[in-house]
Structure 1
Amino acid sequence: MSDIPVLIVGAGPTGLTLGIDLARRGVPALVVERADELFPGSRGKGLQPRTMEVFDDLGVLDAVRAGGGRYPAGMLWRDGRRLGEHHLTDPVETTEEVPYEGWMVPQWRTQRILRDRLEELGGKIAFGREVTDVTQDEDGVTAHFTAGPPLRAQYLVAADGGRSAVRRAVGAGMTGEAVDPLPMLVADVRIAGLDRDNWHMFPPREGRDEFLTLCPLAGTDDFQLVTRFAEGTRVDLSPDAVRRVVAARTHVAAEDVTEVLWASDFRPRAALADRFRAGRVFLAGDAAHVHSPAGGQGLNTSVQDAYNLGWKLGAVLSGDADPCLLDSYEEERRAVAADMLGLSTRIHRGEARRGGATLQLDLGYRESSLSAETRTTPGPVRAGDRAPDGRVDGVRLFDAFRGPHWTLLALGTDAPEPPQGVRLVRGPSHRTYGTGLFLVRPDGYVGWAGDCAEGLGDYLGRFGRG
């Protein structure tokens, strides 16, 4: 017998998102974290519009909005003089179909918000539990730790980062490349006398690569510092060294860096796991794909992994769906992760600009085995696509979608009364969707679309909803 249905290794954004999604479905899961506390740094500070939609569904949108703010315009500096604004990306124009813009929240705060929601739903995090090995058989998975007894689960999800111990334990390879050969430093600092109206950018001198940026972190008194060093440099993470590099590359004096709250070094790379599933073990987040921070795709892609996997684990563990449903996780998410890795790398190297593709709104699963488009003349929204927001006879669609259920949209056509676990929204032909029946999955993607109800029951039957 298993101790728990799902063991989630890693209390980062991926693991916490998955824990919340399972908890709201009534699926007991335990999140274990090797550290003694949540990650303390701001690292993944950018939340894309699609991630904001996920957070709406999971019940944390208001807290996320209150805990952050919009990105400021960049300001270029040279020799203590402002050279002018620099815009990294075009602003997102919100519409009825795209209600949320990107939002800046330091990662440590995002994780605290997710932890609070997880605990509100009855979920738990066990800190100080470092996984050393994972073994599995036909009936379950056993995780072994540096301290404490082993734990057995029906399924295990590795959300333990780019150096994932779980990934190594199950023998999953990871293929990648260095995106930038130069070492980098990221730190959270407090600075006296520097305005918070701009993302301050200090370009390198001619012939050098040692740029530095200071981004005011919305909702805090902190700045996120990012800088790059010459090849072969050993990055010193001490507070005094951080102060010295700020003074050397900006007009800010060392003593004006009043606090260094957190610092880390890294070399940007792009890597993709050869597989996202090994038996009863699933890889998600950085354990499955490692991004350059350029373009703000890593944390957001990771949250989408968890959101994709959560409803599928819930359906299988409740007995509503055959376990083969879980095969679709790798089928759907690995291709998306590969695309996002390529985009992040191109942005880092200056070969692409942040734009519509970074918002993650156009990502979908049209080629998935779970997508069934049966209409003779499909419209702009097809099976596999993200289901946009909008209004149908006064009902806001995201309000209708919110929760762990499926939703059937009947637009300009008749629909049968749906089975339990499927909400029905009826209305006239819609300006975005057009005419037809649209069955929206629990993760907000259209699973099935048809001109009439023929075939709908068979499709729902795959998930215990027929």
Structure 2
Amino acid sequence: MLQTPAPGDHAGATDTDVLIVGAGPTGLTLATALAARGVRATVIDRLAEGANTSRAAVVHARTLEVLERLGVAQRLEAAGLQAQRFTIRDRDRVLVPIGFSDLPSRYPYTLMVSQAVTEAVLLARLGELGAQVLRPHTLVALVQDDAGVTATLDDGSRVHARYLVGADGMHSAVREQAGIGFSGGSYGESFVLADVRLTGGVPHDEVILYFSPAGMVVVAPLPGGVHRIVATVDQAPEHPSAAFVQALLDARGAQRDPAQVHELLWGSRFRVHHRIADNYRAGRVLLAGDAAHVHSPAGGQGMNAGILDAMSLADALVKALAGDAAALDAYGAERRPIARQVVSLADRLTRLANARPRWRGVRNLLLSTLARLPLVRRRLAWQLSGLVYR
């Protein structure tokens, strides 16, 4: 049961050191990192249960490196599938081949694992450290003073914390309550996402981003013989069928050995924005993850950027709780420029994929020419893996 402080009564110990709103990968990573260092953190989430059919499916090398500190990297590694390559193709033609085997990391690959599994691993580790997620609770208001932040929840209870973190996604109530702008825009197309079982010419150790005149489609392997499909569509159905996904692959995927959909496990649609919070801090309120930045799924950067936000913010909060509040400004100064780079890369990939047909030949020639340069391929591998942000 959440404790309810009396109005204006902030004397002595607060209810919690840090209140985290949102128990997705970002919020769970932050809570686990704080709990591992003895910080009292309270996590609330609006969902009654944490299990979900999720959008994210990629954990990159740099993310695994930092998650070693929490004792979860090996657990994720055991649960995932190692993809050794990322390629950009126009139907059967390989335009840009990117390999990860030469990366200077203990994780020279892209780990394919669903967000639901990542959350379950983090939640289990959080429980081992003696903490839990309080559900279902929704933030409806927050008020700051010199002593901290008082949050009012949907059941009328209130929580006082020295710091509050919004890890509550693109439609962040924390960001809105704190008055932080969210600059950017959205793509005209909607996105289809589906998990399917395939046969045909579909690699099981490679993520493929297909460019075609009809639009973009990503085909990515997951454990258990499943493939994740992500595609741009002008008007996507709310629940895409197996036949709809098959039509996408027929129009955009491989032609010599086409993929055949045998089973649709799950499908959905969503609209993608490219936005960055104007600030990552408003007094004692901080933002992380999708509450701070959102972008196209091209490149699989979103969940990784949020987890890296959380690890950096955990360090900053430990310093702030010890009296160094300037560390919180340093967090934003470090992570916001990185978010701009991540958003920019995803946006470039998306716009290249959706180039108008008359520019297709020029685009393909440019990409294939650049990809002949080892330096270009190495740079892309470093960017996708996150190692460039070490």
Q: TM-score, normalised by structure 1?
A: 0.67
Aligned residue for 1:66?
78
Deviation by residue 1:303-347 (Cα, 9 ceiling, x = unmatched): 111111112212332x3x432332211122212222222222222
Aligned residue for 2:263?
258
Q: Distance in 2 between matches of 1:199 and 1:77?
A: 14
Cα 1:66–1:87 change in 2 (3 A) is farther
- Does residue 1:358 correspond to 2:384, yes or no? yes
Aligned residue for 1:341?
343
Aligned residue for 1:90?
99
Q: Distance in 2 between matches of 1:131 and 1:212?
A: 36
Aligned residue for 2:185?
177
Cα 1:250–1:349 change in 2 (3 A) is closer
Number of residue pairs matched by the alignment: 345
Shift of 1:182: 1.2
Q: Distance in 1 between matches of 2:128 and 2:260?
A: 42
Equivalent residue for 2:162, pick from 137, 154, 158: 154
- Asked whether the 8 Å contact 2:202–2:259 carries over to 1, the reply is no
- Does residue 1:298 correspond to 2:302, yes or no? yes
Equivalent residue for 2:120, pick from 112, 115, 122: 112
- Asked whether the 8 Å contact 1:42–1:224 carries over to 2, the reply is no
Q: Distance in 1 between matches of 2:284 and 2:315?
A: 16
- Does residue 1:15 correspond to 2:27, yes or no? yes
Deviation by residue 1:12-56 (Cα, 9 ceiling, x = unmatched): 111111111100111111111111222523422222221111111
Cα 1:63–1:148 change in 2 (3 A) is farther
Aligned residue for 1:142?
150
Structure with max Cα Rg: 1
Aligned residue for 1:54?
66
1:268-307 superposed matches below 5 A? 268-307=272-311
Aligned residue for 1:215?
220
Q: Distance in 2 between matches of 1:120 and 1:5?
A: 19
Aligned residue for 2:373?
none
Shift of 1:110: 0.9
Q: Distance in 2 between matches of 1:87 and 1:39?
A: 36
Shift of 1:163: 0.8
SS in 2 for 1:113: helix
- Asked whether the 8 Å contact 1:191–1:259 carries over to 2, the reply is no
Q: Distance in 1 between matches of 2:82 and 2:136?
A: 35
Aligned residue for 2:357?
none
Aligned residue for 1:31?
43
Q: Distance in 1 between matches of 2:273 and 2:88?
A: 27
Q: Distance in 2 between matches of 1:50 and 1:274?
A: 26
- Asked whether the 8 Å contact 2:63–2:308 carries over to 1, the reply is yes
Shift of 1:148: 5.1
Equivalent residue for 2:135, pick from 127, 136, 154: 127
Cα 1:136–1:323 change in 2 (3 A) is same
Shift of 1:185: 0.9
Cα 1:340–1:248 change in 2 (3 A) is closer
Deviation by residue 1:146-171 (Cα, 9 ceiling, x = unmatched): 23512221110000001101100111
> Which has a greater percent of helix?
2
SS in 2 for 1:134: strand
Q: Distance in 2 between matches of 1:303 and 1:43?
A: 15
Cα 1:305–1:191 change in 2 (3 A) is same
Q: Distance in 1 between matches of 2:131 and 2:39?
A: 10
Q: Distance in 2 between matches of 1:192 and 1:142?
A: 54
Q: Whose relative contact order is higher, 1 or 2, with alpha carbons under 8 Å and at least 6 apart?
A: 2
SS in 2 for 1:296: coil
Aligned residue for 2:241?
242
> RMSD value over aligned CA atoms?
2.9
Residue identity opposite 2:98 in structure 1: T
- Asked whether the 8 Å contact 2:54–2:114 carries over to 1, the reply is yes
Q: Distance in 1 between matches of 2:327 and 2:249?
A: 54
Q: Distance in 1 between matches of 2:33 and 2:382?
A: 27
Aligned residue for 1:167?
175
- Asked whether the 8 Å contact 2:298–2:346 carries over to 1, the reply is yes
Shift of 1:270: 1.4
Q: Distance in 2 between matches of 1:182 and 1:329?
A: 33
Aligned residue for 1:435?
none
1:336-415 superposed matches below 5 A? 336-350=338-352, 354-363=380-389, 386=390
Q: Distance in 2 between matches of 1:38 and 1:88?
A: 36
Deviation by residue 1:267-307 (Cα, 9 ceiling, x = unmatched): 33211111110111101111011121112222122111111
Unaligned runs of 5+ in 2: 1-9, 353-362, 368-376
- Asked whether the 8 Å contact 2:194–2:228 carries over to 1, the reply is yes
- Does residue 1:310 correspond to 2:293, yes or no? no
Cα 1:325–1:201 change in 2 (3 A) is closer
Aligned residue for 1:418?
none
Q: Distance in 2 between matches of 1:342 and 1:249?
A: 26
Q: Distance in 2 between matches of 1:77 and 1:55?
A: 35
Q: Distance in 2 between matches of 1:274 and 1:84?
A: 40
